[in-house]
Structure 1
């Protein structure tokens, strides 16, 4: 560890850190960041941020259901995250008659809090460096397959050594493209219950139109509570469980924010690609992302057609539609931003300098072939990238694409086993059935499957299709509408009811002849297929990419000294920071928005810009209570220049004292290149002002019981 820290410290001395760039490990904060943070306004010690032996800020930050971040805000385990992070759970608990997505929900007492089927939070316990241990087991003469096998064996040992007999979840993760390894110890709590959510017209105000845009006026928050057994340990849901008493929870500040105030975010950013080579960026811009965008839009259009007709269908598909739409707009924003920023040229210039360094006598043996290998790989996989992204959107948006194959193959295996093994397998099969058909409307699924097959077989055909799908395309001239209609009429996999009827009177040999199974199995076979040549190319690329990152760090040609995001806990720090004046925002400085600007966007009955009658009435009276800014307006959202990405949704925005001032929920579309290259002029994080959150809870919803739980700094 000392060697790693010394290397990082030397690099930081050579290349001064921009305080608003970087997703930093908490264990290195004292050595690498604390002094800069103090200069900007931090009043906490490094120990108060991250400590193994004492409670610290990290104990109040949780990963929420594997894909978002949340924070503990009371001594009774109250959890605050984004509305869009809780969206799936809220939709699950809703019905057309009692629609909590549409109308909101507030538990006025703990007995009214509701448990979704599957929801968990993950607490971070500790981390440590195991780079030396793992890398001592491998050498440069190994193939990637050999290397990965040995590394995985060592990872398994490390995880077993640190899980304390199953008490903890332990994850060893690679960093800097496999040049370093760290292990992370977590504790999971699965009894998590809905406490409150604003109506969708508040929590998702602006809809897809305003998504990734500034100015914003979105109350993107929801509230949950973590429950434990009487000793504070994780436990399955039980009426006997009690609210968790956390090691640390965040106080809430209603003092407000202003330009250049210190802002710190802790969270679980999902993925960045700051080390991606130029060829990979170009491939994404020209091949992968356009296919993603078109495939996602095809799925969205079919979903929306049915969702607009039926409130129950809208609830069933609300979460899938929102997720698809989010990435659809994100990927188009990435195409535009990366193109405008000239990111390929910037990276190419860096790689040209690296190649000059790599061909010097001292470096030639190890690094000379790195750039040529990487460039050859991307050139040879451009068509594959197009094909794979069309296929991926087909698999993601259509239940018929993967479901019949996965379930059918599981049933084939099931019917070939003895009774004892069948009894063991059946619960997993039932879970698979519930997952496929849980939020499911057959007419929608039929149409989306046909539309996506038509698109995929048209746009992905140049790379090559599966045998059965290619044969069908040649016979139907690329229009799968009739084929899908016929298949869904007779298939055992069309609905849950048909699956259960088949299992009640099984004909195992008939599965492989089922028309939906045939198409689905062909798609999944193509999805998983890898030729020997492709496997060899993938291995060569993996080695070259790892060596590129190693060489860039060794040569100091890349000033990035933090690893890419990979859903591990990170800290980012910066300031409240405005964008240039924008005529769409009536704020005095373009770093915040007000309720007045939100009301100006209001459109009665509009799916994206409607507002609750009570909110409009309270605004008309200027009934803002203690949550108004000292200038008199009701704040809604504000901007900081923190470095975040997907997975940071729901992350706490903290002031220098460690008090909660907002909740991160989005970025601005102009800076969508930020996952690949950080632009300090454009990069912004969009946050819900905590004062607006409290105003909604208190004045709008009248949930005083929740306000009374909080520790509020005035």
Structure 2
């Protein structure tokens, strides 16, 4: 596949939207998309997809813990999402003795379902356009700071007007770089419990090697349940809570599908940058992403050493490692794809066309947009590289932990004895949570490796780090010695030392603590902007907003969709293959089978090991009602839906709105998808719902879960 000669149709600024391109607002489906969707196979009405007054599909789609998507699949609040979306909660609930991450977990009844410390789902209630209201308050003579302050004041009013006394969470978001504004009303439930998960050897089969690759053979799913009070309202965890009775839940379809069948996905895509100028793409490819890739690999190499030596450390850091590894491969894939597709060159051509349009009479306010944008990127290239090296240090637990706790401890010290007694329980809880799973030897070695990289590669580094580097000659031994001494002399070295300090606090000790100074120094440098940088940023924000406004005016008859920003969207396309791939045993290259999974099996390998029970089921061909009509057990399949990060766990729905799969990844050949849409190669990789049900029923023996589903006839 990687050697396939690309036939690329790039969706740049001014090209028409392809049939399967776009992350669309549900409230605009009837006006912008419904006819196209009907022609492709949709059998629902717009009202059945999005309704304010009646139950509709949108009521079954939830945002899962702020970063993924999930769906309600039963009348008892059962939630289906990806294994990797529930990964940190599964790891948190696991111990070396009860290792659910490695071995899997299946609750036999509601009482056995497990409550993680923190997990929530967000239901979407409604949305509305407030662009005219907000934009009527601003004008072109305002500075960016004045504009932002005015908008924020109005946003606060809109959110207050629509939260119904705190019952709902209301969020006003900007779209098209500040040219439109919409508010979104949500209801959050925080009592969410683990129901079931396959072992990691199924849920993460293929590991980092197969991540972003096709053909794929991963059972990437997990099950949770939403609980509410007896009246169905959100409530903090209580044994008295009951499974939620949702407004709507999805019907599960076990009948399969074929190539070119209609497929739509609803979910919460995190972020795209389809309007990004050429200068931004070049900055990412040459400066920002290479720093991210190098710093990520540096952390991963050190972490893996400790994780391989101790299973408890492996569990404690499994989620952090998986997140870093995912973005490491993603960023490298972005570099490769954007370079191969010559995306920046394509955008430059569109910018030249825009500049020509802007020079015409009546378009004068757009004439200086491109020069301002190009100047910004030229002068911030090195800054973007520096910030990405620095970010990886701030992603370490001990790089950020002293800063996060420091201000609370400072406030605690300033209070009288009675107030301290009041604050101490909450402060101790925060300390316990933040220190849970911290392995100091790993943290020291990761920081040492990151400091060596940062000081050797980044320019204009944090002053406190430059000073330390000067005293230890920036040597490997010097950084090890500095960190050993800093940890030994810090109240932040361990939970116990910090708790002892709180029993007899001293403001001067905190002020001069080496790890506190280290952490706050990193944050101060990350947040620092020179006067020139502030001016550049203000000019850029205004120019970028005008660029998007102008591009839409330049081509007023086109259908436009806003960049993703973690708001609910719908994307539609088809089940569709990639060119033939000899690595896939399937008859057509749009699905994979359990046969292909077993072919990848490597006993004892941390990425390609398999449970013996699954192999036994394969050898017996004991697939039950979950086999395809042709006899094979389907595992994963492809659609050409337009998705990005945040869509993980999104339901793949057929024309009737029935659940046929679970989105979990994209293909590396189209990794530039956050910036451009490649109509030829863009694919969504999905878990076939039949494989999910097979694993729940035949592999795990949890048929009681199947019994509570609504199955299509």
TM-score tier, shorter chain, comes to: over 0.9
Query: In structure 2, what is the equivalent of residue 66 of structure 1?
Result: 66
CA gap of 1:711–1:628, structure 2 versus 1, over 3 A, is same
Q: 1:476 aligns with which of 472, 476, 481?
A: 472
| Distance of 1:667 and 1:186 partners within structure 2 | 28
2:300/2:324 contact within 8 Å kept: yes
Structure 2 SS opposite 1:122? strand
Unaligned runs of 5+ in 1: 1-13
Query: In structure 2, what is the equivalent of residue 555 of structure 1?
Result: 554
Shift of 1:428: 5.2
Structure 2 SS opposite 1:712? coil
Aligned residue runs from structure 1 range 341-352, under 5 A: 341-352=341-352
Shift of 1:425: 4.7
What value does the CA root-mean-square deviation take over the aligned residues? 1.3
Query: In structure 1, what is the equivalent of residue 314 of structure 2?
Result: 314
1:144/1:539 contact within 8 Å kept: yes
Shift of 1:504: 1.6
1:354/1:557 contact within 8 Å kept: no
Query: In structure 2, what is the equivalent of residue 573 of structure 1?
Result: 572
| Distance of 1:578 and 1:291 partners within structure 2 | 34
Structure 1 SS opposite 2:294? helix
TM-score (norm 1): 0.96
Q: Does residue 1:625 correspond to 2:621, yes or no? A: no
Q: Could you list the per-position Cα deviations for residues 163-191 of structure 1 after superposition, in whole angstroms to 9, with x for gaps in the alignment?
A: 00000000000000000000000000001
Aligned residue runs from structure 1 range 69-148, under 5 A: 69-148=69-148
| Distance of 1:662 and 1:434 partners within structure 2 | 39
| Distance of 2:389 and 2:559 partners within structure 1 | 33
Shift of 1:409: 3.3
Q: Does residue 1:299 correspond to 2:295, yes or no? A: no
Aligned residue runs from structure 1 range 390-409, under 5 A: 390-396=389-395, 398-409=396-407
| Distance of 1:668 and 1:424 partners within structure 2 | 53
Q: Could you list the per-position Cα deviations for residues 267-315 of structure 1 after superposition, in whole angstroms to 9, with x for gaps in the alignment?
A: 0000000001110010000000000001111111111000000000000
| Distance of 1:648 and 1:126 partners within structure 2 | 19
2:634/2:688 contact within 8 Å kept: yes
Query: In structure 2, what is the equivalent of residue 457 of structure 1?
Result: 455
Query: In structure 1, what is the equivalent of residue 639 of structure 2?
Result: 640
Structure 2 SS opposite 1:252? coil
| Distance of 1:546 and 1:230 partners within structure 2 | 48
Structure 1 SS opposite 2:451? helix
Structure 1 SS opposite 2:128? strand
Query: In structure 2, what is the equivalent of residue 197 of structure 1?
Result: 197
Aligned length: 697
| Distance of 1:347 and 1:547 partners within structure 2 | 16
Shift of 1:439: 2.4
| Distance of 2:617 and 2:145 partners within structure 1 | 63
| Distance of 1:535 and 1:253 partners within structure 2 | 54
Q: Does residue 1:411 correspond to 2:390, yes or no? A: no
Query: In structure 2, what is the equivalent of residue 513 of structure 1?
Result: 512
| Distance of 1:616 and 1:335 partners within structure 2 | 38
Query: In structure 2, what is the equivalent of residue 4 of structure 1?
Result: none
Structure 1 SS opposite 2:281? helix
| Distance of 2:353 and 2:557 partners within structure 1 | 10
1:401/1:520 contact within 8 Å kept: yes
Shift of 1:414: 2.2
CA gap of 1:633–1:274, structure 2 versus 1, over 3 A, is same
Query: In structure 2, what is the equivalent of residue 183 of structure 1?
Result: 183
Structure 2 SS opposite 1:465? coil
| Distance of 1:458 and 1:432 partners within structure 2 | 35
Query: In structure 2, what is the equivalent of residue 218 of structure 1?
Result: 218
Query: In structure 2, what is the equivalent of residue 228 of structure 1?
Result: 228
Shift of 1:104: 0.4
Following TM superposition, where does structure 1 have runs of at least 4 consecutive aligned residues deviating by more than 6 angstroms?
none
| Distance of 1:237 and 1:543 partners within structure 2 | 46
Shift of 1:405: 2.6
Shift of 1:424: 6.0
Q: Could you list the per-position Cα deviations for residues 431-471 of structure 1 after superposition, in whole angstroms to 9, with x for gaps in the alignment?
A: 542343122111101111111111111111x2x12222111
Query: In structure 1, what is the equivalent of residue 270 of structure 2?
Result: 270
Shift of 1:33: 0.5
Aligned residue runs from structure 1 range 651-662, under 5 A: 651-662=650-661
